[in-house]
Chain A
Amino acid sequence: MTHIYSVHGLTIASEVEFPELLPGSGEPDVWVRRGAVPEHLPHGATSGVLFEASPDNYLLRLDGTARYWARAGREVLIDIAPKALEVRVRTHFLGAVLTALLHQRGVLVMHASCVLGSRGAVLLAGHSGHGKSTLAAALASRGYRAAGDDAAVVTADRDDRLIVQPGFPQVRLWADAVSRLGHSPEQVRRVDPDKAKYALELGESHTPEPHALAALFLLGVRPSGPVQHETVSGAESFNAVLAHTRNLRVLQGLRMQVPHFRLVTSVSSRVPITRMTRPLDRDSLAELVDRVVPALS
């Protein structure tokens, strides 16, 4: 059976079921099929520890779970290992593989969550552990709509406006964030049996439409002190957008630097960027929410 989904501006036809994704319609942009995947790409690939990448080809190898082969931004083959845990097969597809597929299509994939304000989409970018999902979930619980967690896809439309394509209606949180946000265990589902990581379904708090990119926050951490908040511009903003691109080494292996640089330049020169650094020695979530809210109104 083929399932049709919509995510990050793509219509995906898939032989593998992804309950995380919203249903889609229309002509598929991408096909996901089950099939044999070689251990390695043919010669000339750049390789990371678990991936290989060459123009139009990306291979990810997770022993005991699956091998994935993404081709030309249009097709993904998944070779599922016997006895693989289904949730892990899906997690790696929705994370690393989907990012590589989007890189193949020449769009900008930022390590960011997305919240909707009255002027458009506001991205909360940060490396793992810097609090972007928690902040997005806190804003969603204040009534703001969210448009994706962990990966935000930015494209340029025909009029060269920067558009954020919606992700899927779920935020993944660690146990401490779940309890800090005051959620009950019924509202969340454990993502992986071995990890204290939970999926918070956004339901009506998720917006499935694309929106213009209005602002970008770069989240950082420091040992102590006040929450800091500063505007970033010039070369620093270019470097910051570059540094918050997901899986940069994969993108380099795919030789997609040219379209990527173009989008990084557009975002860094046209979108207001704020660096916001929080202390690690106390809970500053409410303060962070207060700093982001003005950008949403």
Chain B
Amino acid sequence: MGRIVWLASYPKSGNTWVRAFLTNYLRKRKTPADIDDLEGKFIASDRHLFDEMVGVEASDLGDEEVAMCRAEVFRRFVHDSDETHFIKVHDGFDIGGVPLFPADVSALAVYIIRNPLDVSISLAHHHGVSLDVAVDRMCRGFTLSEGGDRLKAQLPQVLPPWSDHVRSWVEQGNIPVLVLRYEDLVREPHAAFLELVERLGLEIDRAGLARAIAFSSFDVLRAQEQSHGFIERPSDGRAFFRGGRVGGGEEALHGAQVRRLVAAHGEMMRRFRYLGDRDEPFASRPAGLHGG
């Protein structure tokens, strides 16, 4: 039976970057992997995968029925294979206490975390909403790919508030979890990606590591998107790879927005070193041990 490595994150936290790194590391090619053909291309909320494995279309089922089926979809998915599958996830770990991701077929959950101040900027851009709306979504929770009046290619993904999303994954206790800080990947890519390679039990190839980091650099990803687009781009055609900067949130958000995020997520921000000793936003803290 195969195993699943979950590449989990709140949206706009570096998931695609980690997938680009892994693809380049695993494939060992002489040129960068195509961004439209990355490992973990399967997202956990893929509607077609659900329909095929369940045998009934999700659009004919109630939300609760869909939630009850999801863990079983992944068991069936790996049942007939011997491979390790990387699957991208933005859902919280559970919906109302019903776990969506079965521990018995999971090898590891890689949880990528990014400073929520920076996430809010990327989220606003990605969804084409104001910063206030993005901040509000991160504080109150929202649903990705919410259908309502239409059918979306992905199943709806219930995203709890940012802190609860982090907590749902790092404290779930069912699946071993490796937390990768986006900021560490930016500042110390060799150390951070090496830790990922080691935890995945992959053969350590120093030259391959350096090449995969270079081939998944922000400039390479953005250049590919500019030349031939990207299938995971927002649906109104805005760029997916935009700035990727660390610390952008502190500059772009106004005081009330920062205060709201800190008030809602202070505990988790302190835990992952996004706040300084006096609770000041602290994005540029040097890389260190991973939190969690």
Contacts and interface: CB of A to CB of B under 8 A. Distances in A.
Q: Pick the most buried of A128, A130, A197: most chain B CB atoms within 10 A of its CB.
A: A128
Q: Pick the most buried of B47, B57, B230: most chain A CB atoms within 10 A of its CB.
A: B57
Given A48-B76, A194-B62, A128 B54 contact: no
B157 to A, nearest CB: 15
A128 B69 CA distance: 18
Given A194-B62, A223-B231, 9 more contacts: A51-B54, A60-B56, A91-B60, A128-B151, A129-B152, A222-B229, A249-B55, A250-B55, A281-B235
Contacts of A130: 153
Q: Pick the most buried of B65, B69, B150: most chain A CB atoms within 10 A of its CB.
A: B150
Contact of B236 (A60, A129, A197, A224): A224
Nearest to A59: B55
B254 interface: no
Contact of A223 (B65, B76, B235): B235
A175 B147 CA distance: 10
A48 B54 CA distance: 5
A177 B150 contact: yes
26 contacts: A47-B76, A49-B76, A51-B56, A62-B65, A91-B60, A96-B55, A127-B153, A128-B47, A128-B151, A128-B153, A174-B150, A175-B149, A175-B150, A194-B62, A196-B148, A196-B150, A197-B59, A223-B229, A223-B233, A223-B234, A225-B237, A248-B52, A249-B53, A281-B235, A281-B236, A281-B237
A223 B230 contact: yes
Interface string B225-242: 000011111111100000
A92 interface: yes
A84 interface: no
Interface string B59-71: 1101001000100
A281 B233 CA distance: 10
A248 B48 CA distance: 12
B56 A62 contact: yes
Looking at chain A's contact residues, the main secondary structure is mixed
A128 B150 contact: no
A137 B179 CA distance: 48
B132 interface: no
Nearest to B46: A127
A203 interface: no
Interface string B120-149: 000000000000000000000000000111
Interface in A160-194: 174-177, 194
A51 B55 contact: yes
A48 B57 contact: no
B235 A225 contact: no
A174 B51 CA distance: 18
A194 B62 CA distance: 8
A222 B69 CA distance: 28
B164 interface: no
B18 interface: no
Contact of A174 (B73, B151, B232): B151
B76 A128 contact: no
A240 interface: no
Contact of A221 (B57, B148, B153): B153
A127 B55 CA distance: 14
B55 A128 contact: no
A48 B235 contact: no
Contacts of A177: 150
B94 interface: no
B72 interface: yes
Nearest to A196: B149
A177 B151 CA distance: 10
Nearest to B152: A129
A49 B229 CA distance: 36
Interface string A34-62: 00000000000001111100000000101
Contacts of B58: 128
A259 interface: no
